[in-house]
Structure 1
């Protein structure tokens, strides 16, 4: 039997969120958002996809750009919950003081999760069928400005904004967790992450974060990233724990750093390259391969052409050999 049920509680929470926007209550808006790295904020514009603290810090300014309202009418609303997660969908009709003769339809979707007994928004998607400049009469740049500021303030022992981003991911982790039991599997994953962190830091990289059963790290240049990837693959194969098959992906380019986290198209592409790698494979982008000379001791398979989710066209992916 499905555990999904209508949720008057979540509907009330979401209406408080909607009410706080035109009433200019930025603190309330921030407090209703998760503090986790997984916070995602999606708007109408092509570039309006933001994550993490940039959203929390910029939320008041983003919604503060909306002009005063003459009318705010809810035209549709539903909310459901399933255990510790839930979702809400709204439609509204807005009339602004600056454009009293025109009504604008707005759609909003919120995904929420229980955090210490309190519902927090982890994903927000709002959309209107026209650009923000026409909708509100002004650009809403608060969050994008924070992202740009984070890029300007990028500070690592490397060239500003440039990094080799590496992801690792355990293949079939759900099956392994089922076989070993959650407690033992959690212990093995922790040990696995500790090994990866040691290898990355010994190679001069930065262990950025763990993501479920995967990791993300950053290096100043591709050579230490490739060497670290080989060492991680070998260490995983030689581990005396359960047999773990690992996939690894690497891509280079300009990244944005904020609060010790990284984001941008380079990060997204590195993650997509990881997703196309097979068990035990290290895959890297054509751009990464171009920066590594054959005389530097690396061996690569013939490039393959493949689509990457979220990116246009075909992409050339190389496999780095690591087995001896």
Structure 2
């Protein structure tokens, strides 16, 4: 059974401490497997090292890295399943060679139990690079998330009613161009962490992030609307620039799973409702509105008969008031 692993979180954080602060050869080596299957992969094309040579040269490798005088953990997760475990981290590192321009690193560590101790058998670290640079075009976050769900991305909830919520950063391409890819990647990563915490606090499941959008699912429409309100209020309290604006959309429907389809039209309609939302607003389908009835916690306005691409006829949508 896969379960979160506080033990591996602690081991991983000691590894990063050894990498960024102490950098003692014996300490670094002690984290690594003695197996011939040890793998160490970095960002550059030729940064692929295998087997015992990695363990022998690990100290020399990190001594080549400039001094890191400050670190910030943006995201950290660890899991285990029997004798195997893994973690993923997102960090910002400030190097002495660039003290005012932190570098964002993504790291995945895979562990195996060796003689009762967790040892790293694979490490993969890289710096985020925008798809615009690599493949020459950007993702459309909402539609891409919708497509991912339709291609079989499984949620914990397999059947019954689900309220699906999308968030999308407004004018993200303009903002990314203004601040630069590296800073934008770090900013969006932090944004996703904040949204995940709010969604999970309302018993929702953070399903997926892609580009600058997120998709989540709730078994309760009330919980979904409460999460959407808290997200917009969180965005309103931003103090640093650039200030992000979100459009949020929700739709509620019956979850259906088959070999080639997950959710059916629920995800697609939620995506289309989101696309119809204005910046800094929460838009929801008539079905989601009906689920909460006249609940005193929610106020609705701007009811519209809206044409949703891919759906016949007009569909009633509402705006959810969120400002206190």
Tell me the TM-score normalized by structure 1.
Answer: 0.51
Query: 1:232: how far off?
Result: 0.5
1:181 aligns with: 180
Residue 185 and residue 252 in structure 1: after superposition, are their counterparts in 2 closer, same or farther (change >3 A)?
same
Equivalences for residues 163-182 of structure 1 within 5 A:
163-182=162-181
Give, in whole Å, the separation in 1 of the partners of 2:306 and 2:297. Answer: 26
- Asked whether the equivalents of residues 163 and 252 of structure 1 are also in contact (C-alpha less than 8 Å), the reply is yes
State the Cα distance separating 1:303 from its structure 2 match: 0.7
Q: Distance in 1 between matches of 2:159 and 2:286?
A: 22
Which whole-Å CA distance do the structure 1 matches of 2:250 and 2:134 have between them?
34
Distance (whole Å) between structure 2 residues aligned to residue 237 and residue 208 of structure 1: 24
Q: Which sections of structure 1, spanning at least 5 residues, go unmatched?
A: 1-82, 87-121, 123-145
2:244 aligned partner: 244
Instruction: Return 5+ residue gaps in structure 2 as ranges.
Output: 1-132, 137-143, 145-149
User: CA 1:182 to 1:262, structure 2 compared with 1: closer, same or farther past 3 Å?
Assistant: farther
Q: CA deviation at 1:221?
A: 1.2
Please show how residues 1-324 of structure 1 align to structure 2 within 5 Å.
Answer: 156=156, 160-241=159-240, 242-256=242-256, 262-324=262-324
1:234–1:312 distance in 2 versus 1, CA, 3 Å: same
2:134 and 2:210 map into 1 onto residues whose CA distance is: 20
Contact 2:257 2:263 in 1 (8 A): yes
- DSSP 3-state at the match of 2:272: helix
Tell me, in whole angstroms, the C-alpha distance in 1 between the residues paired with 2:234 and 2:257: 29
262 and 171 in structure 1: CA distance in 2 versus 1, 3 angstrom threshold: farther
* Aligned-partner SS, 1:216: strand
Measured in 2, the distance between the counterparts of 1:217 and 1:206 equals 5
- C-alpha separation in 2, matches of 1:85 and 1:255: 34
Runs of 4+ in 1 over 4 A off after TM superposition: 83-86
Q: State how many pairs are aligned.
A: 179
Give the deviation of 1:236 after TM superposition: 1.2
1:231–1:313: structure 2 CA closer, same or farther, 3 Å change rule? same
Quick check: 2:302–2:319 contact (8 Å CA) kept in 1? yes
Q: Which whole-Å deviations, capped at 9, do the CAs of 1:254-312 have from their partners, x for residues lacking one?
A: 224589x9542100000000000000010000011011122331000031111001111
Aligned-residue Cα RMSD (Å) equals 3.0
2: CA distance, partners of 1:245 / 1:215: 14
Judge conservation of contact 2:155–2:207 (CA < 8 Å) in 1: no
Q: Give the 3 Å change call, closer, same or farther, for CA 155–178 of structure 1 in structure 2.
A: closer
Partner of 1:298, secondary structure, is: coil
> Match of 1:14?
none
